[in-house]
Structure formats: structure tokens, C-alpha cells
């Protein structure tokens, strides 16, 4: 391995980064790793002060200066280009319609970052037709995930408010990205912790084979069994022959969101446990099967340094539960909570190694899966106390799809900064999952969650009959 690149120390990729590079190598649409978002405020901003705040936030955010290169042996490496400078653009959409402005931001999100030894982010100060002002931010998933994006945008807000208003403290320093990279690489170098995590997941995998549950019933699994000539097949293909994707967003208002959060607080569970319980009950109802697997994402940001270091840290694992219909809704949630806590303790393990071992143990054919979808709950919001310094104003965020996904369906649930309600964002292959199917899933997901939250001692079977 090279020790330096352009005078900077070189580091191998982390497991989380390698997962993304896999998509880069095999997905025909290289924009698949783009993450685009906007944060705008219903007030006039001083764009000179905002530009300085962006520059300061960039200097403090080590991961945004990460560049990648491929060595002569074809292996990817990374380094932090300390003298990199972020280009800050400016765009005034006030003379356009909102539809026209959104179309431009959407088009920016679909331009891939493909160059080696080059920046992997872009930021533009924007004035929108509705009078809102702020920033559009585009970044490659290989150097940032949603939580680190939010952390960076919050840093801009806090620095801006500090420079504009008396009495606003300068934000605390960001944590070192490279320090976290070194920590991850040390774990991966056959550490005792890695061995323990491997043993945990191997035991889970080898216990018994999961089974695929479809969004609208067992049709795909039945077709797989017929096509393969194996009546006992338990995995199925759930993707289409096209990676072209769409984003469908469903909005849950503030008051019903509050009811769900109150339930979680009362029974000492996280919202992701309630979401997972709702989803697995839906698939249980549709497939008449107590055995349900859904992919779950884990942020791996348990410490303050991990939260403030930026980078991409998310690991994804299948989350399997076998919960009979005669158990109560609350018992099911507690089972999920306990299993999730186990996952958190072992989440540094390599997801690629997980899937490789699973395929080997159960002789799973390439392209076949047990999970119909992936769930991500993003507890962080761009809602920030420092915005209170700007007075009684409104602000909003929007995520822009890159137009490509390698999975049939992702669900990301986030809190809206406007009112702290919930947005259910389904990114899906348009040829694999339809808008109508998503409407049906969302409708029953909400009915299951609210019925369970209102009557947690009802059995799962009773709830499925009631909804």
C-alpha cells in the first residue's frame, strides 16, 4: 500500500465504504451514491455571512476533504486533502416557479461524482420562488451518511448565528474523521471484538433459514419455487431489471406523530422498534407467516466523537423476528427491542461477510433475498435551537432522490423540522414496486401502529383482524 498520496497519508477503505464501492463498480448509474438535500429558511439571509459560515464549517469537517484513488493493483484507497477548498455557488430561483426550481435541484442530484483525487461534495446558496433562502447540498455517500450531513448543516447554522447575533456561542469542534477511520481499521484487523461479533451473527445465521415475504403476499416466492423447480425454496428475487427509481413521500402530521412518540416514551422503546413492529406485522398479515425478515440500518454513532466525526458509518443487516399471532403487540415490541440491543453491541461486523456466510450456509442462489425492504429511522433532525435566534420563522428541508437504487424498496423515516411530524420516504425501483402498493403498505402500517399503540395488550392476531 502506498504511504502517501499528494503528500497526504493514505488509508484503506472502511467496511462501510467498501459496501458503497460495490455499488459504484456494478451499478450502471453512478449517481446511485449521490445524496442531495436543501435547507431553507423563511427569512432574508445575509449571503456574505452565510458564505463565510459555509467555508468555516467546511474547514472543520475533515470527511468532506476525503479523496479516493485506485492503486495500480486496482484497490481503492482514501486520503484527506487538507488544502482542499469548497466551491460555494449561488443560484437565485425567485423568477421561476417552485416546480422549475425543484426540477433544477433534482437534476443537480443526478450528476455523479466519478473523478479520482477530486472533491465529492457541492454546495449552492439558493433563493427559492416561495421566498425561502438557504443551501442546497450534494455529497457522495462514500464520505457522508445522513447523520453526518445533518451535523454539517447544523454546523453552518450555528456558525451563521454566531456571526450574526450577539450571545450565540461558537459551536464546539468537530471530531476527527481519521481518528474514527483508524479505530474501524483496528477493529477489522482480526480483533477480539470482531471475533465476538462474528460468533454472534454466525449463530443467528445458522439457527434456521429465513423466508421471503412479499409486499402484497407470497406471489414472488411461489414464482421462484416454480421457476427453480424447488418447492422448498425460501429466498426470492425482488428487484427488477432496471435500477431506475422514484421517491414517494407520505406525511404523518404532528399530532398523530406525538401519539406514537408518547407511546414509545411510556413503554421505554424507540420509535424504530414501533416502526419495525408495524412493518413486520404488515408482512405477517399479507403472507400468513410468523417468520419475517427486514433489513435494518444501524448508524454506529453511539459516542459523541462518532456523532461529530462525519464520514459514512452505516451498516445494514437483516433483522429477523419470529413472533406468533397469539403474542401481544407489546410483547412483540419488547422482543424487537431486546434483539435490537444485541445488534447494536455487534454492529461493527462486516455486513458483506454476513451475507457471504448466509449464502454459503443456506446455498442461496445469487440475487435471491429473504428481505423485501430496508428500514432506516433517522432520529436526528435539522431542527436546531440556534434557529430560534432568527426569530419566529419557518424553515424546511427536502431530500432529492438520485434516480437510481439497487434495492427494490427503502423506507427512510425522518422528523420534519417544520412541525416535528414524520415523513415516510419510500425510494423504490419503479419496475419492482408501484405507488399503489406503497399507498397500501403505508395505510396499513399506520393502522397497525396506532391500533397497537392504543391497545398494546391486544394480540397480534387480533390487531391483524381489526385493521
| Tens digits of residue pLDDT in 202-259 | 999 999 999 999 999 999 999 999 999 999 999 999 999 999 999 999 999 999 999 9
pTM: 0.94
Q: What is the pLDDT of residues 398-428, one digit of tens each?
A: 999 999 999 999 999 999 887 889 999 999 9
Residue 2's pLDDT is 65
Q: What distance lies between CA 391 and its chain's CA centroid?
A: 31
Residue 26's pLDDT is 74
> Which of the two residues, 391 and 87, has the higher pLDDT score?
87
Distance CA 229, CA 234 (A): 12
Residue 89's pLDDT is 97
Residue 58's pLDDT is 97
Q: What is the pLDDT of residues 435-456, one digit of tens each?
A: 999 999 999 999 999 999 999 9
Residue 375 in contact with residue 424, Cβ under 8 Å?
A: no
The Cα-based distances of 212 to 14, 320, 327, 353, 399 in angstroms read 30, 11, 22, 20, 30
CA atoms within 13 A on the CB side of 330: 11
Architecture of the domain made up of 4-181: 2-Layer Sandwich (3.30)
Q: What is the pLDDT of residues 48-93, one digit of tens each?
A: 999 999 999 999 999 999 999 999 998 999 999 999 999 999 999 9
Distance CA 70, CA 66 (A): 14
Return the axis-axis angle of helices 435-454 and 329-345, rounded to nearest 10°: 110
Query: Per mean pLDDT, which range of 20-24, 38-42, 175-179, 290-294 is the poorest?
Result: 20-24
Q: For residue 182, is pLDDT > 90?
A: yes
Distance CA 176, CA 326 (A): 49
Residue 401's pLDDT is 92
Q: What is the pLDDT of residues 2-32, one digit of tens each?
A: 689 999 999 999 999 998 887 777 788 889 9
Residue with cell 428500514: 375
Q: For residue 386, is pLDDT > 70?
A: no
How is residue 73 written as a grid cell?
A: 493493483
Residues with Cβ < 8 Å from 431, sequence gap 6 or more? 240, 241, 242, 244
Going by C-alpha positions, the residue among 367, 348, 328, 323 that lies closest to residue 456 is 328
SS3 assignment for the chain = CCCEECCEECEECCHHHHHHHHHHHHCCCHHHHEEEEEEEECCCCCHHHHHHHHHHHHHHCHHHHEEEEECCCCCEEEEECCCCCCCEEEEECCCCCHHHHHHHHHHHHCCCCCCCCCCCEEEEEEECCCCCEEEEEEEECCCECHHHHHHHHHHHHHHHHHHHCCCCCCCCCCCCHHHHHHHHHHHHCCCHHHHHHHHHHHHHHHHCCCCCCCCCCCHHHHHHHHHHCCCCCCCECCCCCCCEEEEEEEEECHHHHHHHHHHHHHHCCCHHHHHHHHHHHHHHHHHCCCEEEEEEEECCCCCHHHHHCCECCCEEEEEEEECCCCCEHHHHHHHHHHHHHHHHHCCCCCHHHHHHHHHHHHCCCCCCECCCCEEEEECCCCCCHHHHHHCCCCEEEEEECCCECCCCEEEEEEECCCCCCEEEEEEEECCCCCHHHHHHHHHHHHHHHHHHHHCCCCEHHHHHHHC
Residue 388's pLDDT is 62
The Cα-based distances of 320 to 353, 369, 379 in angstroms read 17, 13, 22
Same fold, 4-181 and 191-466: yes
Distance CA 23, CA 32 (A): 8
Residue 383's pLDDT is 57
Residue 418's pLDDT is 79
Going by C-alpha positions, the residue among 318, 362, 361, 359 that lies closest to residue 339 is 318
Residue 408 in contact with residue 426, Cβ under 8 Å?
A: no
CATH number of the domain located at residue range(s) 191-466 in this protein: 3.30.559.30
Residues with Cβ < 8 Å from 407, sequence gap 6 or more? 239, 373, 374, 429
φ/ψ region of 120 (left if φ > 0, alpha if ψ in -120 to 50, else beta) reads alpha
Residue 443 in contact with residue 272, Cβ under 8 Å?
A: no
Mean pLDDT of the chain: 94
**178: confidence class by pLDDT, cuts 50, 70, 90:** very high
Residue 384's pLDDT is 57
Q: What is the pLDDT of residues 270-320, one digit of tens each?
A: 999 999 999 999 999 999 999 999 999 999 998 999 999 999 999 999 999
The Cβ of residue 88 has, within 10 Å, a number of other Cβ atoms equal to 17
Q: What is the pLDDT of residues 94-151, one digit of tens each?
A: 999 999 999 999 999 999 997 899 999 999 999 999 999 999 999 999 999 999 999 9
Parse the chain into domains and list their residue ranges: 4-181, 191-466
Amino acid at each position: 500500500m502506498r504511504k502517501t498520496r499528494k503528500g497526504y497519508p493514505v488509508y484503506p477503505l472502511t467496511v462501510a465504504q467498501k459496501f458503497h464501492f460495490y455499488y459504484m463498480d456494478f451499478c450502471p448509474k453512478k449517481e446511485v451514491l449521490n445524496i442531495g438535500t436543501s435547507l431553507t429558511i423563511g427569512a432574508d439571509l445575509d449571503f456574505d455571512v452565510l458564505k463565510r459560515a459555509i467555508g468555516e464549517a467546511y474547514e472543520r469537517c475533515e470527511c468532506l476533504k476525503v479523496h479516493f484513488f485506485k492503486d495500480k493493483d486496482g484497490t481503492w484507497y482514501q486520503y484527506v486533502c487538507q488544502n482542499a477548498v469548497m466551491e460555494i455557488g449561488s443560484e437565485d430561483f425567485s423568477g421561476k416557479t417552485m416546480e422549475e426550481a425543484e426540477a433544477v435541484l433534482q437534476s443537480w442530484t443526478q450528476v455523479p461524482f466519478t473523478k479520482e483525487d477530486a472533491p465529492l461534495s457541492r454546495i449552492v446558496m439558493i433563493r427559492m420562488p416561495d421566498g425561502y433562502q438557504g443551501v442546497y447540498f450534494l455529497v457522495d455517500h462514500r464520505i457522508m451518511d445522513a447523520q453526518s450531513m445533518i451535523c454539517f448543516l447544523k454546523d453552518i447554522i450555528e456558525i451563521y448565528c454566531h456571526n450574526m447575533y450577539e450571545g450565540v456561542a461558537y459551536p464546539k469542534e468537530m471530531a476527527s474523521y481519521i481518528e474514527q477511520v483508524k479505530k474501524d481499521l483496528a477493529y477489522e484487523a482480526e480483533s477480539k471484538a470482531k471475533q465476538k461479533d462474528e460468533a454472534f451473527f454466525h449463530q443467528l445465521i445458522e439457527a434456521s433459514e429465513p423466508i421471503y415475504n412479499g409486499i402484497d403476499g407470497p406471489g414472488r416466492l411461489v414464482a421462484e419455487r416454480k421457476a427453480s423447480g424447488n418447492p422448498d425454496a425460501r429466498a426470492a428475487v425482488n428487484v427488477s431489471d432496471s435500477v431506475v427509481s422514484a421517491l414517494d413521500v407520505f406525511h404523518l402530521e404532528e399530532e398523530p406523530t406525538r401519539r406514537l412518540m408518547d407511546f414509545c416514551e411510556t413503554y421505554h422503546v424507540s420509535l424504530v422498534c414501533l416502526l419495525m413492529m408495524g412493518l413486520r406485522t404488515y408482512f405477517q398479515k399479507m403472507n400468513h407467516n410468523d417468520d419475517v425478515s427486514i433489513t435494518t440500518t444501524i448508524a454506529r454513532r453511539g459516542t459523541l466523537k462518532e456523532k461529530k466525526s462525519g464520514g459514512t458509518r452505516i451498516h445494514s443487516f437483516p433483522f429477523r423476528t419470529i413472533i406468533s399471532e397469539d403474542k401481544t403487540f407489546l410483547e412483540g415490541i419488547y422482543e424487537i427491542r431486546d434483539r435490537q440491543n444485541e445488534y447494536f453491541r455487534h454492529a461493527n461486523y462486516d455486513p458483506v461477510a454476513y451475507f457471504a456466510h448466509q449464502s454459503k450456509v443456506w446455498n442461496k442462489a445469487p440475487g435471491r433475498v429473504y428481505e423485501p425492504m430496508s428500514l432506516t429511522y433517522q432520529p436526528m433532525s435539522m431542527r436546531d435551537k440556534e434557529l430560534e435566534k432568527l426569530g419566529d420563522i419557518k424553515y424546511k428541508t427536502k431530500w432529492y432522490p438520485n434516480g437510481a437504487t439497487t434495492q427494490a424498496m427503502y423506507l427512510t423515516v425522518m422528523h420534519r423540522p417544520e412541525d416535528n411530524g414524520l415523513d415516510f420516504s419510500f425510494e423504490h425501483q419503479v419496475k419492482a414496486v408501484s405507488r399503489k402498493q406503497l399507498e397500501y403498505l403505508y395505510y396499513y402500517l399506520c393502522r397497525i401502529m396506532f391500533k397497537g399503540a392504543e391497545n398494546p395488550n391486544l394480540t397480534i392476531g387480533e390487531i391483524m383482524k381489526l385493521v
